[in-house]
Amino acid sequence: MREKGRKQGRFVALSGLEKLAAPPGSQYPLLIVDSAGSPVFFLCEWYRRKKAVDPGRTPDTYLDMALPWAGFLLRRGYAWNAKPEQLLAFLVEFLRDDVGCLVGPDSHREDSLFVQTTGASPLSKSSLGVLLSALTSIYDILIGSGYYAYQNPMRSERMIQLKQEHLRQVKNAGAPDHAGIRSETHQETNRAFPTNQFCQRRKKVWEPQVVLEPEAVHKRMHETIDYMVRHATFQRDQVILLIIRQTGARLSEVIEMTVGGYRKARRPGRALVKNKGSHGREEKTIHFTTTVDRYLCDYIRTERAKYDPQKRKRVEDLDDRDPLFLTRTGRSYSRAAFYHHWNKLFSSAQRQFKKQEHVEFTPHDLRHLRVTRAVIKYRQDAKGDAAVEAELLEGFQQLMGWRSPETMKIYLQTMNQRKAIETMLADEEAQEQTDRTLSSLAPLQLSQEFLPKQNISQCSNEGEEPFLLDDEFGWYEDE
């Protein structure tokens, strides 16, 4: 969930660097230049290579987080390719001065450093993890391509050696998890032997806070989305909201849908989308009703055709690589553009509730809400049969595209916690009916400042959902 009050956008903007479209024929998909207009080579080269193996949005997210690091190096006159011990000193200085972090020796791991955000930090804890992963990726790739001659300053040499020794004892260590022949999962290996030089202390495992909210809050979330669908200016946004609510898909998966992904699913109400960690491949199938499919087809024939550069109305006339959702200028719809419309619609929708009933949430929270509904339904259908329930939940896990069964386990634990809370409060309310002491008391008049504020939106990066990190900085998957 999102930590509020952070200024990540300003943090990125203050790097002093600029992203420019590369000229025609350039080998670089994007140019990163300094205030004098000179290219920042190591970022340009890293981004080119990263984008070649991962055409998804992870390289762009990492690039935004790495810009302040590059700007810091340029302002201080530090070399990006200095020796590891020098770069480590630069990194500590950067994390303390520019990111407002506490940095010191880690008491739990020898030769590692503990890093923690403070109230002065422009980044949340999860965003700090993304920053650390981005810097690790930069040096991993530049080492592999021969541009950096030393070991990765973001990794602990001692922990790398311990991990390599451990892997010699792991059966079929090179096999992927889905093969089912590895004696332990890659996640278990990484948790036992994290190689990152900087360690964040996780107080508790991620849990979806939306699931813990009472039924009244869930009801207002549904009513809010209903209002937004009815009052959306564009068919495009109506369709996107309907698909997100029905499928529980991530916002990026829906916005980045292509004609090819829709067509290759071969049946109405299905589409192939880019899953988290799929490196831009459309390999996850989402399912929606035939009613929503008709809305989608109507959008393609009407509004989309209006903004299509070639005015094409039929799916069969479009290319596989064409985006399904377009802006009024005929370009691919983006997250930033979606949030512009989301924020206006959301603000308007909140006016249907009393001020004390306002509930703040993001598109990603609809994913948690969909999971909650599904699990409740599956448990009801199982009618107490543990085997049937396990079978249904396993199928749902595959449907959601979760690689780790831990994600489903966390949802179930959170829902059990919610049920326990509801049972406890019901018992207390029943007790109050027979408690003479309470019944004789006059109601307390509380000041507004003591009334609870309902806010379930506390994720990082303006509604951006958490995603799978390249390394061990994400010690658990926030799905």
pLDDT of residue 270: 92
Rounded to whole angstroms, the Cα distance separating 354 from 271 reads: 39
pLDDT of residue 5: 46
474: exposed, middle or buried (C-beta count within 10 Å: 0-12, 13-18, 19+)? buried
3-state secondary structure of 99: coil
Q: How many CB atoms lie within 10 A of CB 257?
A: 25
Rounded to whole angstroms, the Cα distance separating 64 from 131 reads: 9
Rounded to whole angstroms, the Cα distance separating 88 from 437 reads: 64
Rounded to whole angstroms, the Cα distance separating 304 from 115 reads: 48
Q: What is the dihedral of CA 166, 170, 172, 178, to 10 degrees?
A: -100
Contacts of 476 (CB under 8 A, 6+ apart): 202, 205, 206, 406
pLDDT of residue 455: 58
Contacts of 39 (CB under 8 A, 6+ apart): 31, 32, 33
Rounded to whole angstroms, the Cα distance separating 238 from 341 reads: 11
Give the relative orientation of helices 125-144 and 58-76 as an angle to the nearest 10 degrees: 80
249 neighbors 272 (Cβ within 8 angstroms): no
CB-facing half-sphere around the CA of 50: CA atoms within 13 A: 26
AA letter at 281: R
3-state secondary structure of 114: strand
CB-facing half-sphere around the CA of 476: CA atoms within 13 A: 16
Q: What are phi and psi of 208, to 5 degrees?
A: -75, 105
User: 440-451 as b/e, with b when 16 or more CB fall inside 10 Å?
Assistant: eeeeeeeeeeee
Query: Per the structure block, which two tokens stand in for 352?
Result: 């249907």
217-to-208, 224, 455 alpha-carbon distances in Å: 14, 10, 10
From first CA to last CA, the distance across the chain in angstroms is 11
Rounded to whole angstroms, the Cα distance separating 294 from 301 reads: 11
pLDDT of residue 275: 84
What are 39's strand-pairing partners? 33
Rounded to whole angstroms, the Cα distance separating 330 from 312 reads: 12
User: 163-181 as b/e, with b when 16 or more CB fall inside 10 Å?
Assistant: beeeeeeeeeeeeeeeeee
Rounded to whole angstroms, the Cα distance separating 17 from 13 reads: 8
Token pair 């988290």 in the structure block, residue:
276
Rounded to whole angstroms, the Cα distance separating 71 from 73 reads: 5
pLDDT of residue 477: 39
pLDDT of residue 429: 79
DSSP state of 443: P
Reported as a single tens digit per residue, the pLDDT across 301-310 is 999 999 999 9
In a structure prediction context, what are the per-residue pLDDT tens digits for the chain, which is 479 residues long? 344 445 666 777 777 899 999 898 899 999 999 989 999 999 999 999 999 988 888 899 999 999 999 999 999 999 999 999 999 999 999 999 999 999 988 766 667 788 988 888 899 888 899 999 999 999 999 999 999 999 999 988 877 778 788 888 888 778 776 677 878 877 777 777 777 888 886 655 667 878 878 888 899 999 999 999 999 999 999 999 999 999 999 999 999 999 999 999 888 999 999 887 677 788 899 999 999 999 999 999 999 999 999 999 999 999 999 999 999 999 999 988 999 999 999 999 998 888 888 888 999 999 999 999 899 999 899 999 999 999 999 899 888 888 778 888 888 888 888 888 888 888 887 777 777 655 565 555 555 554 555 555 544 343 334 344 444 444 333 44
- Which helix (H) or strand (E) segment holds residue 61: the answer is helix 58-76
pLDDT of residue 67: 95
Q: What is the dihedral of CA 245, 248, 252, 254, to 10 degrees?
A: -60
Reported as a single tens digit per residue, the pLDDT across 373-419 is 899 999 899 999 999 999 999 899 888 888 778 888 888 888 888 88
Query: Per the structure block, which two tokens stand in for 57?
Result: 């949005």
CB-facing half-sphere around the CA of 100: CA atoms within 13 A: 13
Instruction: State the sign of the Cα–Cα–Cα–Cα dihedral 118, 121, 125, 129.
Output: negative
